[in-house]
């Protein structure tokens, strides 16, 4: 009798680097979008449209007709969290399916994925604390961290796996890090400005007690400092012939100026909701442009044959 041997073969669905990069870009866009829609919840006074969490009411996970349009808006934003999470999960699966396996991608992808439910919990705490302005601000800043991680993943996919080397002199790289720190501080103070203003997310929500005029002035001073640093970076990069870094600094400066115009107009027109929403989108763009400058001050070299050999052996062994 002939023996029939069954050879078990693993089924693979290889993912190209192009598809992986597109998924990572979709993750950035989705996380920016949920910041904007979250702002829409607050700007339409729908922050307590679902008055509890994780349920929408004490008896239902979904909105009810009695809750009206505010319930629909708040519940719709909660549903978007699942869409953003699905995209993040797709990125993780794509990283795992990509061959050869790329070191450094999985921690970033997993970080973005787990950042989304963490955001959902923070969102729940904002509801359970009746839209405490400090918690609302933390909720926004946590979104910025997730966006930064998604951006880092997107950039890392295109890079080789060798060591990182600077493309500009050390002092200019330090200046870029200082600019990044100032950009982050402007975002933080911006949440304090929001917490002192009229858009509380609900007509009965408390404010943080800071004087709106004084904290707005501090925020504006930080913006002026950030613009000054960006101008310095642009001309310094040009002086040393760092064309890519200078281009990134020019983009950052353009985004900052646009964001600044929106900020001043919204302040002197008594904070119309549309402009406040545009300002929230601009905050995300300033963050991304700042990170773009930071990435332009360094590059990752191709992996050496000695470093690439073990990875190739692991892929061969897995086959």
For 89-146, how does the pLDDT look when each residue is reduced to its tens digit (9 = 90+)? 999 999 999 888 887 899 999 999 999 999 999 999 999 999 999 999 999 999 999 9
- Per-position DSSP letters for 280-319, written without gaps between them: HHHHHHHHHHHHHHHHHTEEEPPPPHHHHHHHHHHHHHH-
Record the tokens describing residue 209, joined without a space. 């007690």
Q: Would you say residue 175 has pLDDT above 90? A: yes
Please state the three-class secondary structure of 64-126 as a single string. Answer: CHHHHHHHHHHHHHHHHHHHHHHHHHHHHHHHHHECCCCCCHHHHHHHHHHHHHHHHHHHHHH
Say whether pLDDT at 2 is over 60.
Answer: no
In this model, does residue 262 exceed pLDDT 50? yes
pLDDT band at 13 (very low <50, low <70, confident <90, very high): low
What pairs with residue 298 in β-bridges? 166
pLDDT digits (tens, 9 = 90+) for 17-64: 889 999 999 999 999 999 999 989 988 888 888 888 998 988 888 888
Q: What is the pLDDT of residues 221-255, one digit of tens each?
A: 999 999 999 999 999 999 999 999 999 999 999 99
> What percentage of the chain reaches a pLDDT higher than 90?
66
| Burial label, 258 (beta-carbon count in 10 A; 0-12, 13-18, 19+) | middle
Q: What pLDDT is attached to residue 305?
A: 59
For residue 289 the two structure tokens come to 């442009």
Provide the pLDDT for residue 312: 40
Using the predicted structure, report yes or no on whether residue 308 has a pLDDT greater than 80. Answer: no
Supply the pLDDT for residue 319: 36
pTM for the model: 0.88
Average pLDDT, rounded, for the chain: 88
Query: What is the structure's pLDDT at 60?
Result: 87
The pLDDT value recorded for residue 7 is: 41
pLDDT > 70: percent of the chain = 91
Res 177: pLDDT? 97
pLDDT in the model for residue 267: 87
């Amino acid at each position: 009798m002939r023996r029939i041997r069954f050879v078990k073969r693993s089924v693979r669905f290889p993912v190209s680097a192009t598809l992986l990069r597109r998924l990572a870009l979709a993750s950035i866009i989705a996380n920016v979008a949920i910041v904007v829609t979250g702002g829409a919840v607050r700007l339409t006074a729908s922050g307590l449209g679902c008055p509890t969490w994780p349920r929408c009411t004490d008896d239902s996970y979904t909105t009810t007709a009695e809750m009206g349009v505010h319930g629909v808006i708040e519940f719709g934003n909660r549903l978007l969290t699942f869409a953003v999470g699905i995209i993040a999960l797709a990125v993780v699966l794509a990283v795992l399916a990509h061959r050869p396996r790329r070191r450094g991608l999985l921690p970033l992808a997993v970080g973005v994925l787990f950042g989304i439910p963490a955001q959902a919990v923070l969102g729940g705490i904002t509801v359970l604390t009746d839209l405490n302005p400090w918690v609302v601000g933390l909720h926004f800043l946590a979104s910025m961290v997730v966006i930064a991680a998604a951006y880092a993943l997107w950039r890392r996919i295109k890079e080789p796996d060798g060591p990182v080397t600077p493309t500009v002199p050390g002092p200019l790289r330090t200046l870029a890090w200082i600019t990044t720190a100032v950009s982050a501080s402007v975002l933080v103070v911006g949440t304090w400005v929001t917490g002192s203003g009229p858009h509380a997310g609900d007509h009965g929500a408390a404010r943080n007690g800071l004087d709106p005029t004084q904290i707005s002035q501090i925020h504006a001073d930080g913006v002026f400092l950030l613009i000054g640093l960006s101008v310095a970076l642009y001309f310094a990069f040009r002086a040393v012939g760092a064309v890519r870094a200078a281009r990134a600094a020019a983009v950052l400066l353009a985004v900052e100026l646009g964001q600044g115009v929106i900020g001043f107009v919204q302040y002197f027109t008594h904070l119309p909701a549309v402009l406040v929403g545009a300002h929230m989108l601009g905050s995300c763009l300033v963050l991304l442009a700042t990170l773009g400058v930071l990435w332009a001050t360094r590059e990752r070299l191709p992996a050496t044959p000695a470093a690439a050999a073990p990875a190739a052996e692991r892929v061969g062994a897995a086959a």
